[in-house]
Amino acid sequence: MASFPLTRRNFLQMTGVTAGLAAGLGPTFRSARAERSDELNVYAWEGYTSDDVLDPFRREFDARVRAEGLISDPDAINKLRAGETEIWDIINLNNPWAREWMYPEGLIKPVDKEVFAPYHEKMLPKFAWPFEWALDKSGEEMLGVCQRFGPFSFVVNTDKISREMAEDEGWNIFLDPAMKDRFGVLTYDNWNVFHMCIAAGFSPFREHTPEEFAAFETVARQVFNGAKLLSDDLVQMNLALINGEIDAYFTGGTYTASPARYDGATNIRAITPKSGPIDGKGGIVWIELTSLVNNPNPSTLGPTFLEFIQRPEMSKQVAFAEGTYNPVAQMGDPQVMEKFDSEELDAIQWDSLEEEMARSVDYDINPDYAEMYPIYAAARRERQG
């Protein structure tokens, strides 16, 4: 298991390098107000910042490409608000943030719809044009390129809990007194809040009643107090499943289970419940959108990069970058699919992807997150003593 990667949550914390990258590089990074046809600054989730993706671009376009990995969608937006639109040319965030926040605030700019909309013709059916999350609220402007995505609910060791049972029981597994000290919580806070809402019987993606807040608190306490292990490290969670320390973990998906599966532990499986409280659905799928920052002195290479990452060989590289593996929208193209072998497809649970997507709603914004988070944090502190 030594090949396990850093995660989205600990990537910057463990390296201690990129968190202050832009400030540390100062004027060099910020780029003089001269010709910017040979440089590109990328601010993105891991994968797009990988040299496996960026080095081929550097070589082909003789470009200086500088990149920083981000660890939080809201934190990234706040950096743009604070003036870092003058630094970045490319930003890669989860799906709702472009349409709901960045474009209305002028932080990103539209891409050329005539150039980029046709790419959707070769994407998976989920992404058929017109695709909601690639467009602004008017439906007129295209805001970026869709690529990585994945179901994200929970993970089990199928030697201990069968896939069928996990899918049938859904989130109730973690509320069963018999599961006390048999599961972990992967502490991705915003996702935990979403999933605790669903476990409490309601959608996280709308305003909530006092009764729902009370149910959320009850579930948060029950989940944390029933957990044997809390960690924000997917490596630790997967090892605990493999070693028999736990039978399942709360919050996880293709993204977190895929490294273990690719290393041969195919009994580690991401689960999407068969049903739930959001129009009958109990799972959530995240979708990334890569956009052009509204930089006052933009690089001319921004649109080129958005086309480059959609090439068949680069789509595969993005899907399997940084040691965590995910499907990409471009897998609707046979030229992309032929890049994946059977083990790689098994790692990302291609066999069940379509049905898991059908059981999931798209990641969105919880309007009551600021009120729910203190309740969640108090339950977590109570568990930790």
State the Cα–Cα distance between residues 318 and 306, nearest whole angstrom: 12
pLDDT, tens digit, for every residue of 96-119?
A: 999 999 999 999 999 999 999 999
Contacts of 200 (CB under 8 A, 6+ apart): 212, 215, 216, 218, 219
Torsion angle defined by CA atoms of residues 362, 364, 369 and 370, in that order, rounded to the nearest 10 degrees: 160
- Please give the model's pTM, rounded to 2 decimal places: 0.89
Highest CATH level, class, for 150-284+363-384: alpha beta
pLDDT, tens digit, for every residue of 132-154?
A: 999 999 999 999 999 999 999 99
Position 35 scores a pLDDT of 54
Every domain of the chain and the residues it spans:
150-284+363-384
Position 8 scores a pLDDT of 40
Across residues 48-61, what is the average pLDDT?
A: 96
pLDDT, tens digit, for every residue of 302-361?
A: 999 999 999 999 999 999 987 789 999 999 999 999 999 999 999 999 999 999 999 999
